[in-house]
Amino acid sequence: MKVVVVGATGVVGRKMIQVLEEHNFPLTRIYAVASEKSVGTKIPFKQSEIEVITPEEALLAKPDVALFSAGATASKRWAPKFAGAGTTVIDNSSAWRMEPQVPLVIPEINGNILKTSHRIIANPNCSTIQMLMAIAPLHQKFGIKRIVVSTYQSVSGSGKKGIEQLMNERNHKKGPKAYPHSIDLNVLPHAGDFTENGYTTEEEKLVNETRKILNDKDILISATAARVPVTGGHSESINLELKKPWAMEEVIFMLNQMPGLVVQDDPKNNVYPMPITAQEKDDVFVGRIRRDSSVKNGINLWVVADNLRKGAATNAVQIAEYLINQKLLGQ
């Protein structure tokens, strides 16, 4: 299996290479691609290093799998070229997610929609992945009528430049800005770009991607996305209005059954999910599970995950592993 990571010098790309190594992914050769300015950069892999090459060079190698994390513009340009050469592309950007013919996949939830013929597969947005890991089992059992979600997103969600701005501010250094205001000691009610309707692109992704993955256009969703001065790990406050009455034991049972989801809920002992404890973990964590008596069948959850892992790199590698295990990789 020849694998190429496109965007290999970025925070997600580097994590993809790390996750491939940790998962002992069955590869015979790995290629690293980034923009022109990074060609020749060395990226550590196992006991060795991979040298960054151009997309054109990687294309000539006819890789079996391409993991893309190079942004939407690069993905729009290069993903069809790799797909045309027979490579199965798993893309982390927003370029293909809402294309009707492109599957948008969280393997534990809807891996079963994948087919051998799919040459471009989209990885959902980080905030969508962790929310759905916690709410999909409840949707299956009780049906979700309405979701109100507020995110507290880390600066690594904005890539290298987000971490750089936070660290520069902490060290009283000047540098390029990822955000229009200071992020250290601050909270920005602004993640992504503002759209005509007053919501941001990050908020719209939560709405549209949730409906596509759960294959349910009727779910009502209201999202607010905020950026917080945390280096890694997104947190989410999720309020659900379920269609059917629920009991706490059933909810805990369903959440415990979900692969890749860990219930961390012992508030009396100060046990609940936090970015600091979720960092570098492939799992998604759920806690603060409690009834919302202000609406019929209401429930509140607090969900945390490492946005670079299950929110991006881990989910992409798991899609590739799913394709291999189900013998779905294109011929």
Ligand X SMILES: NC(=O)c1ccc[n+]([C@@H]2O[C@H](COP(=O)([O-])OP(=O)(O)OC[C@H]3O[C@@H](n4cnc5c(N)ncnc54)[C@H](OP(=O)(O)O)[C@@H]3O)[C@@H](O)[C@H]2O)c1
Stretch that binds ligand X, among 29-37, 97-105, 140-148, 219-227 (CB under 6 A): 29-37
DSSP state, residue 197: T
> Hey, CA dihedral for 159, 225, 127, 87, is it positive or negative?
negative
Please work out the total of residues on this chain that contact ligand X, with binding judged by CB under 6 A: 30
User: Which amino acid is located at 111 in the chain?
Assistant: G
Dist CA 256 CA 252 (whole Å): 6
Query: Smaller CB distance to ligand X: residue 111 or 159?
Result: 159
Stretch that binds ligand X, among 65-73, 99-107, 270-278, 283-291 (CB under 6 A): 65-73
Does 275 engage in binding with ligand X (CB under 6 A)? no
* Two structure tokens written together for 6: 């496109």
Window 282-311: contact mask with ligand X (x via CB under 6 A) = -------------------------xx--x
Between 251 and 308, CB nearer to ligand X: 308
281 binds ligand X (CB under 6 A): no
SS3 content of the chain, % helix, strand, coil (to 5): 35, 25, 40
Q: Does 318 bind ligand X (CB under 6 A)?
A: no
Question: Nearest to ligand X by Cβ — which residue?
Answer: 10
Name the residue type at position 273: P
Distance (Å, whole) CA 226 – CA 54: 35
Judge residue 300's burial from the number of C-beta atoms within 10 Å of its C-beta, 0-12 exposed, 13-18 middle, 19 or more buried: middle
Nearer Cβ to ligand X (10/273):
10
Instruction: Decide: is 314 part of the binding site for ligand X (CB under 6 A).
Output: no
**What string of H, E and C letters represents the secondary structure of 96-134?**
CCCCCCCCECCHHHHHHHCCCCCCEEECCCHHHHHHHHH
Is 139 annotated as catalytic?
A: no
Looking at the Cβ atoms of 58 and 242, the one nearer to ligand X is 58
**Does 16 engage in binding with ligand X (CB under 6 A)?**
no
Q: How far is the CB of 41 from ligand X (least distance, A)?
A: 8
CA 285, CA 249: separation in Å to the nearest integer?
18
CA angle 216, 218, 221 (to 5 degrees): 100
Query: Does 156 sit near ligand X (CB under 6 A)?
Result: yes
Segment 104-143, which members bind ligand X (CB under 6 A)? 126
Contact in structure between 238 and 146 (CB atoms under 8 Å): no
172 among known catalytic residues: no
One residue of 21, 25, 38, 288 binding ligand X per CB under 6 A: 38
315 binding ligand X? (CB under 6 A): no
Nearer to ligand X among residue 183 and residue 308 (C-beta): 308
Q: Which is nearer to ligand X, 34 or 261 (CB)?
A: 34
Q: Which of 17-39 are b and which e, b meaning 16 or more Cβ less than 10 Å from the residue's Cβ?
A: bbbbeeeebebeebbbbbeeebe
Choice from 3, 17, 30, 33 touching ligand X (CB under 6 A): 33
Shortest separation between residue 29's beta carbon and ligand X, angstroms: 19
Q: By CB under 6 A, tell whether 151 contacts ligand X.
A: no
Binding part of the chain for ligand X, among 6-14, 175-183, 215-223, 262-270 by CB under 6 A, reads: 6-14
Q: Which of 37, 60, 40, 58 is nearest to 49 (CA)?
A: 40
12 scored as a contact of ligand X (CB under 6 A) = yes
Dmax (CA) for the chain in angstroms is: 60
| Residues near 95 by beta carbon (within 8 Å), at least 6 away in sequence | 72, 73, 75, 76, 79, 122
Binding site for ligand X (CB under 6 A): 6-13, 33-35, 37-38, 55, 69-72, 74, 92-93, 126, 156-157, 159-160, 307-308, 311-312
Residues marked as catalytic: 126, 234
